[in-house]
Amino acid sequence: MNKCTLLGRLTKDPETRYTQGNESIAIARYTLAVNRRFKKQGEPDADFINCVAFGKTGEFAEKYFSKGLQVAVTGRLQVRNWEDKNGQKRVSTEVVVEEQYFADKKKESTPEEQGFYPIDESIEDDDLPF
CA distance 35 to 24: 35
- What pLDDT is attached to residue 22? 84
Rg value, the chain, Cα: 23
38 φψ region: left (φ > 0), alpha (ψ -120 to 50), beta (else): beta
Residues 54-88: pLDDT tens digits? 999 999 999 999 999 999 999 999 999 999 999 99
- What pLDDT is attached to residue 58? 96
Residues 22-63: pLDDT tens digits? 889 999 999 999 998 877 777 778 999 999 999 999 999 999
- What pLDDT is attached to residue 103? 92
